[in-house]
Structure 1
């Protein structure tokens, strides 16, 4: 297994690595009011506008410098602007399509983005959202990814999130594995997805890992972004602080724009499960070795919800060709903070599969 790294994590061979659990592994605590705005609550951009409309000031901001990757060089010093890609006349047109997946426990909402230049044999990229996410909170990233990679992109709202049907009880503590076992099979079957590339952000990354392991014959590649592979102290501390921030009704109202009357359930499904003492033993140690496909693990070096050890563990424990990319000066949502870098990494990685 060959792993290219732009960051280091000592002895990241398993989720038992003590270095990942040390209280001082992250440089300092943060103020989370602004973090919730940037990471999960879309307060700066109206996601209902078309993906090809003018970019916002937030999207225009430039990223910081970083080192190019040895195995697949990416210019981290380039300005991270979207409009040059999206307004180029050579950019393929994107067709969107909304679907409903029927499941015994409720209806699941899905959206697909298909580029005009897609090869008929290209495996689609399936997006797995984070703990507070949904299709709408991916914003314009799926359309840009579809154009950059030349592939169909599919995103869906997990049951209980976004436009999908509600759930009454809090998910069981095996909810990450359960997504691959209970819900994703229905999504694949009813949306006609054969071979696929799994792309998951945050907890969605862990779900994508489970899907790659469960559907090893059909999963062409795995991409994780800011994924967690065990309950790191940093992760739990940040979730606890975010839980306190959500006592603010303003924050609740922003989240309710996307989840409606399911908002309280969405919050509990995130904070109460991760902070449950019985969840402390969860890890992907036994799942990652079952991943045989090529892997791209992307992680920000300032991610407040998990240190870079998670990406290193994914690279080391998976059994396929692995590429670990640690993005400098980047926190928990690289596809928003460094869109050009993420699009370049993913499109090159997907292109290498052909």
Structure 2
């Protein structure tokens, strides 16, 4: 049974053992392609702000965003999170979310950890519904710069007011924070690497990265350039940090919209007879 296409605040998807909050905007999957949004490691549905609505208006596509288990108002999870958390989210949850909403042709759009989940899905799951990727500040391997910054964020959470800010968006901010922090700062995380997922992509990709991102570096984008066999577009933003969608909203929105428009036009154009 397909879940309702709705932006009602109490909307939930039942996936596996979890109830996931979600919201949909714009046309339904039978009317237009869908942009599926996956949030960052401390994110949630509400922390996308009005970006889903803006993307729906700009692209003419349907847009869906959801909070992963342990985030936002979705079901909680036990801690610690497993080291292969991103793989599990990609292989066990994301496809089920698409199924539950009746999503057809779509582009996966992820930010930070959400981008990693999109990358894994596109590289390991044969799903012809997925026609492209939008990756904002993606992680493919443990970046020393990012790991150092993640270690310092704990103080901001415990004494700097970050917990209070997160409590506005997460039913259990401790699960959201420590589920992210303790996995990324675990000694084994230095060996984490999902770059081989890039080798298996066969769909167009838009990669967006800020030069001043404290959680990552342009090396993540170089990894895509060095390994990809599919069309790649890049938006590299000077003096922008980890949140291009909010630090440079207009240029980021335009890049995503134009990418989706070109992809749709290409797929709808008649194939030449050879």
In the alignment, does 2:137 pair up with 1:226? Answer: yes
Structure 2 gap ranges (5+):
1-5, 265-274
> Contact 1:238/1:304 (CA < 8 Å) preserved in 2?
yes
* Residue equivalent to 1:7: none
1:316 and 1:147, CA in 2 relative to 1: closer, same or farther beyond 3 A?
farther
TM-score, reference length from structure 1: 0.69
User: What is aligned with 1:251?
Assistant: 162
Residue 340 (str. 1) matches residue 242 (str. 2): no
Q: Residues 186 and 216 of structure 1: is their aligned pair in 2 closer, same or farther, counting only changes over 3 Å?
A: closer
Cross-structure match for 1:194: 104
User: Equivalents in 2 of 1:125, 1:312: separation in Å?
Assistant: 25
Could you tell me how far 1:311 is from its partner in structure 2? 1.7
The answer to whether the aligner puts 1:263 opposite 2:177 as a matched pair is no
Structure 1 segments unaligned to the other structure (5+ residues): 1-94
Point out the structure with max Rg over C-alpha.
1
Query: What's 2:18 paired with?
Result: 106
- What do residues 241-296 of structure 1 show as CA deviations (whole Å, max 9, x unaligned)? 11121111622111111112x21111111111011111211112221111110000
1:168-207 map, 5 Å: 168-207=78-117
Aligned to 2:184: 274
SS in 2 for 1:167: coil
Indicate if the aligned counterparts of 2:7 and 2:22 stay in contact, CA closer than 8 A: no
Match status 1:132 vs 2:42: yes
The answer for the alignment partner of 1:145 in structure 2 is: 55
SS in 2 for 1:316: helix
Please give the alpha-carbon distance, in whole angstroms, between the structure 2 residues aligned to 1:139 and 1:283.
30
In structure 2, distance between residues paired with 1:199 and 1:316 = 21
Structure 1 distance, partners of 2:182, 2:40, is 15
Equivalent residue number for residue 150 of structure 2: 239
Alpha-carbon displacement from aligned partner over 1:153-184 (angstroms, at most 9, x marks no partner): 10000011101111123221001111111111
The Cα of 1:194 is off from its aligned counterpart by 2.1
- Tell me the CA shift for residue 215 of structure 1: 3.8
In structure 2, the residue matched to 1:155 is 65
Number of equivalenced pairs: 257
RMSD of aligned alpha carbons: 1.7
1:318 shift after superposition: 2.6
Q: What is the SS of the residue equivalent to 1:298? A: strand
Structure with the larger RCO, 1 or 2 (CA within 8 Å, 6+ apart): 1
More helix by share: 2
User: Is residue 328 of structure 1 aligned with residue 238 of structure 2?
Assistant: yes
What is the DSSP-based 3-state SS (H/G/I as helix, E as strand, rest coil) of the residue aligned with 1:235? Answer: helix
Deviation at 1:223, TM superposition (A): 0.6
What TM-score, normalized to structure 2?
A: 0.89
